[in-house]
Structure 1
């Protein structure tokens, strides 16, 4: 069968994982890799047996690729994607799509202008627990939204932030937990609950010697009057990963690996008006969602991207337009916190750009960095990478 020729730009930890999966996927062929480090380029190109490039522009001019997977530090995503589009190359981009909503919107506009695919590596959408939750929302079981709630926490030590010069800085990373760890969870939250219209937030740096936030929380307002709450940090053990989407007709809870869907009978508005017994409660019933097992994870996103490009599937798992949701919410939280005010969505991109420029203007390089390039062990296990290939 025809295969999509992929190049991977950025072959640190995640880039190597992606290269491994591209070689493993039937619809794709790894044809080039790129790193700004000559030594890293030689090492990874030799491992995979493909041409290596130090300058991504040379890779894009080479004619070796139909698409690229961008896995470089966040602030470079938009520039590389724009160059790819100008060379008529499709783009699958690691999260976050960009650092600012302005950059993200320009990426989406450029892909549309050139008639090219722009997808995001938001692989949590492929997991069955979230597909069940999404189906419950789509089928109207939840009904009119009442509230939406999510908590997502991780644990990251100082060694993690010392592993690369760009980590934990406004200039190099463009944000903290909101832009690095949380995009997948913000994406699922928006995928299930929709976009809020107003955000009131706080961010803090509680435990780490970094410039950016290691904790963030926000109160959200939705167009229909519903409210939401969001909390993320990198300061907890054991981690919590919980979503609650509550409506007039039912409730979806995803807690860790478990998902429950509950229907209210009758719906809340009907019950509140019709019940004659002051202590009577509406009945609830569990809903068994008929959602089949399917391929999950990074490989599923890569395969889907290739199949859409080959005309074998119609829709991307995470189109660039939808990847803007989590980015806009992250930007709104930072803007609200730093300016100490509520902000409305759609977000004023120019206002956030001005704030980011201020934060970057005082950003300082790390005095000591222990450079380490290693795939997240949990991801390495999930995709069955050999230990010597994880470095």
Structure 2
């Protein structure tokens, strides 16, 4: 009788545990496959290139990627360049140019890829259009912006109308953007190659004291060119006219890279531009002491394709030392600046 009673007790215990299992499962659900997939959805909306006539040394290839803003975008062209940083020209729009060099093996069948990274999430895509423009495509034309200007105002008050004029290639689509205020505002082609547009300041708009960054875009097909406003919005004397920018980018090493030994820097600017280089080192050990010193100041000249390079060798190589590389490129009355931060291994 005792054995039978014990068996009955064990059976009832097992049955009770089985009945509770569904409730335990509800309390601790496992992530569904659908949730996991939503976390790795693509952040890239489009990836395009400006078609060229020939894939030969000296030809400049230009690419545009659209996707999640404030991310890190890179471009890879097999047998030419890998993980070339793309610049975010406006939120979610990344651009980069690459000039084909001697030794690059790029053909119409080359698979060009772009990556977009935000935190631990990385999205990748490949170019779906040909690099070379077809001979039968008569619509292809080279875009250019001759001037982007504005009618100056006395104050940036609510209700003030800002009027802009762009002069460039005719029969294209023109827009302008005021950083932090409004983006991609359409402009109307009033006459052949002359586009106008306006914006009325709202009460909630904020214009920084140093001046708002205003850019215009001109687009035809897959081609897009941009230009910054040539003067301040607020009326002033002729000194308010801004100096036009020229291209300036650092190809290698990447931002925040860890380096050791001799550091070689490669970049690209306008052909035959003068590039002023300044490298400063900053280091500290456990907060007890530190140093800050200039370790390089020199001037280099870009070649006919705009490529330039220089190297520096740290005199004190303490792990964690920060190197600030500041570049200023000049070509006539045009100038541009770029910076790079590196760390000692």
| TM-score bucket of the superposed structures, by smaller chain | under 0.3
Q: TM-score, normalised by structure 1?
A: 0.22
TM-score of the aligned structures, taking structure 2 as reference length: 0.24
Query: Greater helix share, 1 or 2?
Result: 1
Larger fraction in strand: 2
Tell which structure's C-alpha radius of gyration is larger: 2
Relative contact order: is structure 1 or structure 2 higher (C-alpha 8 Å, sep ≥ 6)? 1
